[in-house]
Amino acid sequence: MKYEVLINGHSHQIELERAAKGYQATVDGEAFAIDAAMTARDVLSIIHDGRNYEAKREYSLMGETHIIMGSERFEAEVRDPRSLRSRRAAAGHEAGPAKIMAPMPGKIVRVIVHEGDEVEAGQGLIVVEAMKMQNEIKAPKKGKVTKITVAESATVNAGDLLMIVE
């Protein structure tokens, strides 16, 4: 199976195939023999060249996925080319405006961009504080900020429109 994996915003091409023992993995054209097993929910034990690694997956309130290995934490996104969502993302995201909605009730701490600003996919747009945690909401696609409907210190409910990126 082939995947595109984004680690901290950097794209990597990964191919996995079952081997006689474990898996054969190719990462950006470099081949690795690995043995991997799920040891608990969201915990993967990986053996490569006699060394053991433990990768833990966690989800944020903003819908982001993070992988923790040792003391390091990485933002991760797996794009399966067989899925419709991934095919749309590879084509440059859905056509038309992207409505940026509040994922949860909270307070607007900071508006990072202004109306008329050009933004890149993954760029920070706005910071919402919820449950004493600050969460940066990122642009789902490259485009132009055409409308901002909130200001700093405003209180928002889950599902409220924050801004539009076209």
At residue 9, the pLDDT reads: 81
pLDDT at position 95: 64
DSSP string covering 115-159, please?
A: TT-EE-TT-EEEEEEETTEEEEEE-SSSEEEEEE---TT-EE-TT
pLDDT mean by block of 10 residues, the chain; 166 residues: 84 88 90 90 91 90 83 84 51 69 89 94 90 87 93 90 92
- Which residue ranges form the domains of the chain, and what is each CATH number? 2-84 (3.30.700.30), 96-165 (2.40.50.100)
